[in-house]
Amino acid sequence: MNGNAENVLELDDLSVAYRVGGTDRLVLRNVSLRIGRGEAYGLVGESGCGKSTAALSVVRYLPRNGSVAGGHVRLDGKDIMGLDREELRRVRAEDLSMVYQDPAKALNPSIPIGRQLAEVFEIGGASAKEARSRAYEMLEKVQISDPARVMGGYPHQLSGGMQQRVGIAMALASDPKMLILDEPTTGLDATVEAEVLDLIGHLRREFSISILFISHNLAVVSRVCDRVGVLYAGMLVEEGPTDRVFRNPRHPYTVALLRCLPGGGRRKSSGGLDTIPGFLPGLGAIGEGCAFADRCGLATERCRTERPPLHDLDGQMSRCHFHDRAQSLPHTTRHAPDESREPPAPRRPVLRVQGLNKTYGRDRAGGGVAAVKDLSLELKAGQTLGLVGESGSGKTTFARTLLGLIEPDEGGRIELDGKELAERVGDRSFEQTKSLQIIFQNPDSALNRSHSVRGLIGRALRQLGGLRGAAMDRRLKELAGSVRLTDHHLSVSPRQLSGGLKQRVAIARAFAGDPSVVVCDEPTSALDVSVQAAILNLLVELQSERDVSYIFISHDLGVVRYLSDNVLVLYLGRVMEYGPSEEVFSGPHHPYTEALLSAASDIGDAEDGRIRLEGEIPSAAAPPSGCAFHTRCPRRIGSICDELDPPLKEAQSGHAIRCHIPADELAALQVQRPSTLSRPVSAERRDDNGRP
């Protein structure tokens, strides 16, 4: 197919190779796709599938060791690869723009924002003055509230969401035909992500622009894109209209990917999550047959010898021999509710926090920044408490105070196993230190030593478990087994492991001293969904085996709902809502919780009727008077909210909400829109019902 006028972007049989250790390895294999005028196309896949490489080849900015091994990229019929330097520059200046994953890094740290933005207009031939005023207008278009202020400011003075708005403004400034979005909301809070996605949707219509949207997040893609392509090991394995692909996937990989998501209101009590067994084939290492064969539950002999072609199924494409059976892919985990998981015996409390405050820079007059305010909670053995809230809500400060890394204000009390916990970790007994452990989002910092994995876990066992010699070896084997690390994994250095395996090592270390409480600080946020599912399953298993309790911090409400027995919602360090997970999620909820739920992306959600939070989370240094949430509350009832801090009132027994609106009224208000997270959405629900 050559230069179809209707297609703005065409990848035609594109292959890209990276030179590693002297040989070229293919990271993209014969990928063909087209994006029409005004169309939004989502390219999804897990890390290492080649999606970023695809984006970078479109703008011809491959890393030094990358090269196009075959095929074409055409923009409006022009072959990008054949352009000379000046032509390429013009294409980048006029027709092609990109928004990047990490806006903090994508903006020049030492040039004022107005200048960086005006520059784009200057390339287009505008005078300096004109460029400035158009930069100003552009900032208004991306809904930045005080453009004059932002123009003179520097990137580091803005929040992540604002930075990304600037990034979008910059990309749209040249009025391009094609916009490439490379994970534009990864790393942003759900509320901010929702706003940015709204903005993209809105501007897309205004500028009638074509979009290539790269993301690992299926739900985000489903909200923005008309069509999606699923990449696996550098190949397009499925493609089609978004709702068809997500509701009726025809490739086992897509099916498996959708099943990994803990969305749709799933709970740990209803069974483990599906995972994708095995690993992505190494760079360029694909044999004869189907690239997915090693991990596919439907694979047959034919799959291993004959590479499946891309079958066209009436507008939906699938690279599978058995596309008609894709959804009968066997589940990897049992789905039946596990009765034994709810033991009737009353659980004993392991952790009790009472009236905990943490004020930074406190002075005698009682000033300072209250990062955690009057927090009380109780955690029972074998249970999980989910901690949710935007960044800046005090989640991390709370976790760090708990661990004794930050000293709280006087007056509060933390009890572990019935004994008071000293404020500083240095003053805690050995027993207490080993019973309270943490798992971080990024295990690298904790593991980055030259030790082997065996040495790392062994050291933790010596320090926390007090084990030596044969007893230690036995325990090490057992521990490695329970986090599914093989002998091979134990012998290598942690640097050689993938993110998911590193996290397993970190979990093994945390469990070395048989802890009673483990704080999990966003442990799966940096992982692919299939790996996330496996780690979540592991955490649930360890919990039911060892009766350990978790404090689980996450911005992903689906994950929190899946894992938690109780949920605590924090805003500006204050508890806004606290209660059993099911009640908090099904409502009535606090207006803030409601907004968080509404912002959360889940596949198949309706776009209308979503609640959006205006503006940014206020500074904890100057918290709003009255109800801390009143400056952004969509349900504010009047001056009482601005003046009087509402108390935490019980809505049902054990479920407390800090709001002036009575719980039954909240329930009545909230009934009008279905709670996004409780709707059955993913494909697996359908095949539970026996329908494809």
Partner 1 sequence: MRGRRTPARVIVISAFILKRLALSLVTLVLLSAIVFCVGQVLPGSVGRLLLGPFADHEAVEALNASLGLDRPLLVQYADWIWGFLRGDMGRSYMYEAPVQPFIVEALGNSLKLAAVAFVIVVPTAILGGVVAALNHNKPIDRIISIGGLTMTVLPEFVTGIILILVFGVWLKWLPISAAWPDGAGGFTQIHYLILPAMPLILVLFGYIARMARSGMIEALESDWTRTAVLKGLRWRTVIWRHVLRNALLPTITVIATQTGYLIGGLVVVETLFRYQGIGLLVFTAAKGKDIPMLLAGILVIGIVYTLATLIADLLCAVFDPRIRLGGRQ
Which of ligand SF4, partner 1, none binds 62 (CB below 5-8 Å, type-dependent)? none
- Residue 280 interacts with ligand SF4 (CB under 6 A)? no
Pick the binder of partner 1 from 52, 126, 154, 645 (CB under 8 A): 154
Near ligand SF4 by CB under 6 A: residue from 11, 296, 533, 567: 296
Give yes or no for residue 149 binding partner 1 (CB under 8 A). Answer: yes
Residue with tokens 């030259």: 450
Footprint of partner 1 on 265-324 (CB under 8 A): none
As a whole number of angstroms, the distance between CA 141 and CA 128 comes to: 20
Q: Which of 37, 55, 35 is nearest to 45 (CA)?
A: 55
By three-state DSSP, how is residue 488 classified? Answer: helix
As measured in angstroms, the least distance from the Cβ of 171 to partner 1 is 9
For the four alpha carbons of 205, 208, 209 and 210, in that order, the dihedral sign comes to: positive
Considering only residues 1, 20, 111, 606, which one is a binding residue for partner 1 as defined by CB under 8 A?
111
- With CB under 8 A, what is the number of residues at the site for partner 1? 36
Q: How many secondary structure helices (H) and strands (E) does the chain include?
A: 26, 24
From partner 1, ligand SF4, none, interface partner of 61 (C-beta below 5 to 8 A by class):
partner 1
Site for partner 1 in 121-140 (CB under 8 A): 123
Regarding 403 and contact with partner 1 (CB under 8 A), the answer is: no
Identify which range of 25-33, 104-112, 508-516, 643-651 contacts partner 1 by CB under 8 A: 104-112
Closest distance of CB 136 from partner 1, Å: 14
Could you tell me if 399 and 353 are in contact, meaning their C-beta atoms sit under 8 angstroms apart?
A: no
CA distance from start to end of the chain: 33
Q: Does 252 bind ligand SF4 (CB under 6 A)?
A: yes
Q: Is 75 in the site for partner 1 (CB under 8 A)?
A: no
Is residue 92 a contact point for partner 1 (CB under 8 A)? yes
Write the interaction track for ligand SF4 spanning residues 569-608; mark x where CB under 6 A is met and - where it is not: ----------------------x-----------------
- In 3D space, the residue among 179, 225, 181 whose CA is nearest the CA of residue 201 turns out to be 225
In whole angstroms, give the CA distance from residue 423 to residue 435: 15
How far is CA 250 from its chain centroid? 25
Measured distance CA(341)–CA(271) in Å, rounded: 10
**By CB under 8 A, residue 90 contacts partner 1:** yes
Evaluate whether 285 touches 582 at the Cβ level (below 8 Å): no
Contacts of 585 (CB under 8 A, 6+ apart): 265, 557, 561, 567, 597, 675, 677, 678
**Sign of the torsion formed by the C-alpha atoms of 265, 268, 269 and 273:** positive
| Alpha carbons 575 and 613: distance in angstroms, whole number | 18
Nearer to ligand SF4, 266 or 635 (CB): 635
Amino acid at 241: P
Asked if residue 65 binds partner 1 (CB under 8 A), the reply is no
CB of 617 to partner 1, least distance (A): 12
CB 614 within 8 A of CB 599: no
What's the Cα-to-Cα distance from 13 to each of 66, 69, 243, 279, 514, rounded to whole Å?
17, 10, 25, 26, 54
Nearer to partner 1, 94 or 374 (CB): 94
Contact status, residue 580 vs residue 399, Cβ threshold 8 Å: no
Tell me which of partner 1, ligand SF4, none is bound by residue 108, counting a contact when its beta carbon lies within the kind-specific cut-off of 5 to 8 angstroms. Answer: partner 1
Which segment (116-124, 188-196, 407-415, 628-636) binds ligand SF4 by CB under 6 A?
628-636
Among ligand SF4, partner 1, none, partner that 123 touches (CB below 5 to 8 angstroms by kind): partner 1
Window 632 to 691, contacts with ligand SF4 (CB under 6 A): 633, 635-637, 641, 646, 659-661
Distance (Å, rounded) from C-alpha 416 to C-alpha 438?
15
Instruction: Provide the binding-site residues for ligand SF4, judged by CB under 6 A.
Output: 252, 290, 292-293, 296, 298-299, 303, 308, 320-322, 591, 627, 629-630, 633, 635-637, 641, 646, 659-661
Q: Which residues bind partner 1 (CB under 8 A)?
A: 59, 61, 89-94, 96-98, 100, 102, 105-111, 119-120, 123, 148-149, 152-154, 156-159, 170, 174, 619, 621
